[in-house]
Structure 1
Amino acid sequence: MNLKTLNYFAIVLCSFLFFSCNSNCNHKEIKYENEKLSCYPNSNKPSQVITYLEMAEMMDSYDNGVKKEMNKYLKKVSNGKKTTSTDYNWYKLDDLKQYIAYIERISKEKDIPVTGFRIIPTSYPKNYSNKELRNRVTIIFTPTTIIDGKYDAAFEPLYSEKGNPVSVSKYLEQVRAKKVYTGSILPKFESTESSSVNKFPTVPPK
């Protein structure tokens, strides 16, 4: 191979590496007051934003209805030690970004499109390992895809086969029935890992 040919291939290789490194983002990152704006395909105002009037009415409705009943329940099950239910859950931005990136990666490996996330209201059980969180309201994030024409079907990318998403409800039913997954890649129900998340700070406790 002569020097001219070698130089040509070197230029092609460098060009490929340059465009590969920039292929994840179609927009240049903009520096603004020493901060970089994240690159997303759509940063327009979403249609789901609400007014402060709507926010106030919804929060007041919750405080004067559901939360009052939850406070009564919490006071009862804690024998009066706790009187205020969950005010809010807090999620670190980097944690949310990492979670979304993780779900997108493991789902892409299975050739399954992610349509969104279900945000499921739950509460910590009365025997939860963290005593401060017992009986408090919380939420669980679970990825969704298209199953039987439903765009919000909760699925488990960890145990799905390529192009064939498996429903989260399948594993919930097995765990509740305390079945052992013999002849399967899955471990016993006690240690079956999911792709859903929850372990974020809850207030109270602070």
Structure 2
Amino acid sequence: MTSDPYEEFALPDTELAVAALRYAEELTEPFVFRHSVRGYLYGRALGERRGLRPGHDYDDELMFVATVLHDIGLSEEGNGDQRFEADGADLAERFLREHGMAEDRVSVVWDAIALHTSAGLARRKGPEVALCHAGIGVDITGRDREELPEGFADRVHAAFPRENLAYALTDAIVAQALDNPLKGSPLTFPGELLRRHVPPGTMPDWYDLIGRAGWGDRPTAGG
């Protein structure tokens, strides 16, 4: 292993990529930042396993920027009144526009960040969005980890330690939603996490919502 993990793993080194990496490092807690780097590395590795070549089948800089910025909605600067994914996408959008990124590319990053918790949706977008989602998923839930090269995850974790990432990240999302209910609306991913941290019955589920709609609908025989 080299002394510099960024060189060891050949992270994109364009001016924009480096700026995005440093921006994410400045804004987010270390465990969030390292998760974001791991997400990129896993996404790239999954892409290679699936026959996708960076710079040919997808824009590697674009995927990198989206992945390293995907959780900036959990930072103090990114903490607004929307679910953290949308707050992060909006903050990334402003950052990238300030750095002169073309609007069509900014839109891809926005989609990747806003959809990174949306299973079944992100993979239907372009390869940059899909790989961002896939890499993040590996690091959180271990989904598709068997597709990674043998020993690769060990090398990545040695360079970018986990620090109980899955639970620490969950706690950060819940903390934001407890402080501001607008960030944990029912039926959203943050809302689902929040549900376990509030008194039973506090958060309506889907059946509660349709029951309160006021239209007089009644359950069908199959419901």
Q: Which has the higher strand share?
A: 1
Shorter-chain TM range is under 0.3
Structure number with higher relative contact order (C-alpha < 8 Å, ≥ 6 residues apart): 2
Calculate the TM-score normalised by the size of structure 2.
0.24
